[in-house]
Amino acid sequence: MEKLTSLAKRRGFIFQSSEIYGGIGGFWDYGPLGVELKRNLKEAWWRDMVSGHDDLATLPGAPSPYAMTGLDCSIVMHPQVWKVSGHYDLFHDLLVDCRTEGCKARFRADHIPTSQCPLKPSRHPGEHDKCDLTEPREFSLMFKTNVGALFDPSSEAYLRPETAQGIFVNFKNVLDTTRVKIPFGIAQIGKSFRNEITPRNYTFRSREFEQMEIEFFCHPANSQQWYTYWRDRRFAWYTSLGLRSENLRLRNHDANELSHYSCGTADIEYAFPFLLAGEFGELEGVAHRGDFDLRSHMEGKLVRAGDDFTLELDQQGQPRYVGSGKELSYFDDQRQERIVPHVIEPSAGADRATLAFLCEAYTEDAIEDSQGKPQPRVVLKLHPRLAPFKVAVFPLVKREGMPKIAQDIYRELKRHWNVFYDETGSVGRRYRRQDESGTPFCITVDSQTLENQTVTLRDRDTTIQERVASKDLVALIQEKLTA
């Protein structure tokens, strides 16, 4: 993990937020390469789940054709949204402090069995004689803010802790404006905020992060099939972009682990290198949420009552938080019935996924130098769709017109992809830099180019160089990238 974080800093993938002031816990910035990597990841997700989806196709294993559409909702929403959704009352973690002088550490109660006490020798919190832990106290994860000029309770609002609620409250808008029919999905990518007690493990647990969420609305009769479909499809997406399946696992939640609204949840987990051997960390949760969310936004805050839900009442017997009162049901004209659709929610984190792809890509190997001696190298074997730059172009030397030819090639390729141009330092060092940046192909203009308009095309993973005609580069690289 140390090697990876130092490479991420050195090459400009990830920086600590406000670093020149000593940083601020739980916030991170993406540098010039990191922003490209994360954008590529989000674009791959949007392309594969939304814009590239064929709304007319009937998919094998899925009950019927389905449409996918998108939204981009505001971060600050009406405070009632969070009261009705349950976040205001329930989105808490339990916090434990150590009172011991020289320690004063803070832990999440459920993380104590896997946390380290800062005192030496290293033990779990509570295991040293000196440890003096408080009872667990509730701590709200939602960031509070005020809207407008008045700073009083009536102006309080929250930064969203998830993007999903924006989708539920727009359900009717989407239905009315697109005329989609169930089953259909609404996707959203955007920032979420959680005041995590112990942000840690690099970008894995931060206080500001990006989510990629889908709310998929379907008929209750086939919601179980859709749940299985999405769970397996989302797992396959990670492997299609290069996460090796032995580092990835699908874990179905036990009944006692399910959230109060869920009839089934599975986590897609990755064996991050900061975890102990055999441990996995959550990349994405896929949940069957039943009709909980749409019903809550119609009726008010619900609580579980046996197999169903009922309105939560206060001490006066009134609804604890009232819903919008708007009709969020759906008339199924095929079945001629009015239903509240069930929801399947694949909820992924763009930062955790970016981190997992970086961890997976980080490789140390050895390649032969010009004297045939093995030299260690670090290479990021990122999937070409994710790689920040697809190609780098170099003139071998800054003479004999080579820079001009290389720049022309750079400009031609730049019309198609993100391309990097570099003419400084030895060509070996330039290759090494691109290996560390994850660039799949390097093109070098050399003296032979001047004679027959061919260049070398080097493959990042094999380091094999082939000689190809400059005029074929676009077609050839296109073919290699899609392969």
For residue 265, state whether it binds ligand ATP (rule: CB under 6 A).
no
Task: Indicate the residue whose CB is closest to ligand ATP.
Answer: 349
Site for ligand ATP in 177-196 (CB under 6 A): 194, 196
Cβ atoms 397, 445 nearer than 8 A: no
Q: How far apart are CA 35 and CA 121, in angstroms?
A: 40
Q: How far apart are CA 77 and CA 167, in angstroms?
A: 12
Cβ atoms 168, 186 nearer than 8 A: no
Which residue in 85, 211, 354, 434 binds ligand ATP (CB under 6 A)? Answer: 211
Q: How far apart are CA 303 and CA 292, in angstroms?
A: 9
Site string for ligand ATP, 140-169 (x = CB under 6 A): ----------------------x-------
Site string for ligand ATP, 96-125 (x = CB under 6 A): ------------------------------
Residues in the chain: 483
Q: How far is CA 468 from CA 250, 440, 445, 475, in A?
A: 43, 16, 11, 11
Complex with ligand ATP: residue 111 or 480, whichever CB lies closer: 111
Complex with ligand ATP: residue 258 or 481, whichever CB lies closer: 258
- In the 8-state DSSP scheme, what is residue 347? E
Size of residue set near ligand ATP by CB under 6 A: 16
List, in sequence order, every beta strand (DSSP E) within 115-197: 137-140, 144-146, 156-158, 184-193
Site for ligand ATP in 333-352 (CB under 6 A): 347-349, 351-352
Q: How far apart are CA 328 and CA 313, in angstroms?
A: 22
- In DSSP terms, 137 is beta-bridged to 95
Complex with ligand ATP: residue 28 or 394, whichever CB lies closer: 28
Residue closest to 73 by CA, chosen among 146, 165, 211: 165
Complex with ligand ATP: residue 209 or 261, whichever CB lies closer: 209
Judged by DSSP in three states, 213 sits in: strand
Interacting span for ligand ATP (CB under 6 A) from 2-10, 206-214, 385-393, 426-434: 206-214
Q: Write down the least CB distance from residue 210 to ligand ATP, Å.
A: 8
Cβ atoms 343, 217 nearer than 8 A: yes
Complex with ligand ATP: residue 205 or 289, whichever CB lies closer: 205
Q: How far apart are CA 403 and CA 275, in angstroms?
A: 47
**Which distant-in-sequence residues (6+ apart) come within 8 Å of 226 by Cβ?**
62, 63, 183, 216, 218, 344
Q: Write down the least CB distance from residue 42 to ligand ATP, Å.
A: 13
Q: Write down the least CB distance from residue 195 to ligand ATP, Å.
A: 9
Q: Write down the least CB distance from residue 194 to ligand ATP, Å.
A: 5
Q: How far apart are CA 445 and CA 406, in angstroms?
A: 6
Report residue 267 as tokens: 């986590």
Q: Write down the least CB distance from residue 372 to ligand ATP, Å.
A: 46
Q: Write down the least CB distance from residue 284 to ligand ATP, Å.
A: 5
- In DSSP terms, 379 is beta-bridged to 363
Complex with ligand ATP: residue 16 or 324, whichever CB lies closer: 16
Which residue in 115, 206, 437, 470 binds ligand ATP (CB under 6 A)? Answer: 206
Q: Write down the least CB distance from residue 391 to ligand ATP, Å.
A: 31
Complex with ligand ATP: residue 115 or 470, whichever CB lies closer: 115
Q: Which helix (H) or strand (E) holds 248?
A: strand 248-252
Residue 4 dihedral angles phi and psi, to the nearest 5°: -65, -45
Site for ligand ATP in 278-297 (CB under 6 A): 282-285
Q: Write down the least CB distance from residue 34 to ligand ATP, Å.
A: 15
Complex with ligand ATP: residue 351 or 446, whichever CB lies closer: 351
Site string for ligand ATP, 347-386 (x = CB under 6 A): xxx-xx----------------------------------
Count the Cβ atoms, other than its own, within 10 Å of residue 177: 10
Which stretches of the chain bind ligand ATP, using CB under 6 A?
162, 194, 196, 205-206, 209, 211, 282-285, 347-349, 351-352
